[in-house]
């Protein structure tokens, strides 16, 4: 068929897609402006209530001692083959079994996996990485350096760079978004997955369109689409919004100590420490609309019944995309979003049972 005819036939579809994307971006930026107004009021209220903290975050001069706990593992760096970026990771149990690779969420870092590093190093080589943009890992400034394709390539380079051909991928929140995609595009590198509190982006997209309440739960995502302003608001009153996120009595991490809180705030308080992590969000809508994808990697899914950020209905939506028999899902009653830190004992029981056949 002549190229001119093909172009003419595809023109209506291409135009429709462009109009759909333009409409989507108009909605996203409208929501971003509303979110900016709301979070701006919250941030300035914190400043008024705590005027001595001022309008900027206080840079921490040194990390807290808890991140140097030798029982957690050895601090190392790995230079990635594809990008040349240098990523920080903590490693323990080398030689004790298969590679178990942990991917953290926001606003966290490798330290969010401290309980799992202690628990599984006796039978696995456990590695908790600081993703690009976080902590001591390299942090490119450009938004385009945080696309999903590049993040997945990072995970491939980590697995191969550590000397493995497969891994057990354990991921939470933003790390889980990467893990879902990675299992689809690099299935040969993932033996099993343990996913905590996150849905694949295509599932989240379709579910949110039909459940408007999910948009309100994820309102911060729209704020993070804006340049520089989110960094400013999150840092005001010495990072009070982040402090509240992590320590709130109902929505935060129970029993988080001041030193453990500082293990997260230290990295974000460094110059440019928030920009890399927020650039993940600034790429969320890049490929909208997303096509439904079939999920086949054997996966343990853990979800908190009282998760503030994601509705329980997403668990059923995820299950509908799976090859039968490949998903084991558990909703933990009375539990929130931060399962690896709030309920490590329950998480470990499910994980040991899920992975037992690999150890026999």
Model pLDDT for residues 297-348, shown as the tens digit of each residue: 999 999 999 999 999 999 999 999 999 999 999 999 999 999 999 999 999 9
Other CB atoms within 10 Å distance of the CB of residue 44? 14
The catalytic residue positions are 173, 281, 337
| Cα 117 to Cα 134: distance, rounded to the nearest angstrom | 19
Specify the pLDDT at position 12. Answer: 60
Q: In this model, does residue 19 exceed pLDDT 90?
A: no
Q: Are 129 and 103 in contact (CB under 8 A)?
A: yes
Model pLDDT for residues 119-133, shown as the tens digit of each residue: 999 999 999 999 999
Q: Are 322 and 295 in contact (CB under 8 A)?
A: yes
pLDDT (mean) for 76-81: 98
Model pLDDT for residues 58-71, shown as the tens digit of each residue: 999 999 999 999 99
Residue ranges of E strands in the chain:
74-79, 86-92, 99-103, 125-129, 167-172, 190-196, 299-304, 327-332
Q: Are 243 and 53 in contact (CB under 8 A)?
A: no
Model pLDDT for residues 105-123, shown as the tens digit of each residue: 999 999 999 999 999 999 9
Q: For the domain bounded by 74-197+290-358, which CATH number is listed?
A: 3.40.50.1820
Chain Cα centroid distance, residue 347: 18
């Amino acid at each position: 068929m002549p190229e001119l005819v093909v172009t003419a036939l595809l023109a209506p579809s291409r135009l429709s897609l462009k109009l759909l994307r333009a409409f989507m971006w108009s909605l996203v930026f409208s929501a971003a402006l509303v979110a900016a107004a709301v979070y701006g009021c919250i941030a300035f209220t914190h400043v008024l209530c705590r005027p001595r903290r001022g309008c900027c975050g206080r840079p921490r001069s040194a990390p807290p001692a808890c991140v140097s706990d030798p029982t957690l593992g050895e601090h190392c760096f790995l230079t990635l083959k594809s990008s040349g970026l240098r990523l920080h990771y903590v490693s323990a149990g080398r030689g004790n079994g298969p590679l178990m690779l942990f991917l953290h969420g926001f606003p966290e870092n490798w330290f969010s996996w401290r309980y799992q590093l202690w628990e599984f190093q006796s039978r696995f080589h456990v590695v908790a990485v600081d993703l690009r943009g976080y902590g001591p890992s390299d942090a490119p400034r450009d938004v385009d350096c945080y696309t999903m394709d590049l993040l997945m390539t990072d995970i491939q380079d980590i697995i191969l760079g550590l000397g493995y051909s497969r891994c057990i991928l354990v991921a939470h929140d933003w790390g889980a978004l990467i893990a879902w995609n990675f299992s689809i595009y690099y299935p040969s590198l993932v033996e099993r997955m343990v996913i905590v509190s996150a849905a694949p982006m295509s599932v989240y997209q379709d579910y949110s369109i039909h459940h408007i309440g999910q948009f309100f739960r994820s309102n911060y995502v729209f704020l993070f689409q804006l340049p520089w302003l989110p960094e400013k608001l999150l840092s005001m009153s010495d990072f009070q919004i982040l402090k509240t996120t992590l320590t709130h009595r109902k929505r935060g991490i129970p029993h988080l100590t001041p030193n453990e809180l500082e293990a997260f705030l230290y990295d974000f308080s460094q110059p440019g420490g928030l920009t890399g992590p927020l650039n993940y969000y600034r790429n969320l809508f890049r490929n909208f609309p997303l096509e439904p994808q079939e999920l086949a990697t054997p996966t343990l899914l853990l979800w908190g019944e009282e998760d503030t950020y994601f509705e329980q209905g997403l668990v059923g939506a995820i299950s509908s995309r799976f090859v039968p028999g490949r998903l084991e899902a558990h909703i933990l009653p009375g539990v929130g979003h931060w399962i690896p830190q709030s309920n490590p004992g329950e998480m470990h029981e499910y994980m040991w049972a899920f992975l037992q056949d690999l150890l026999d």
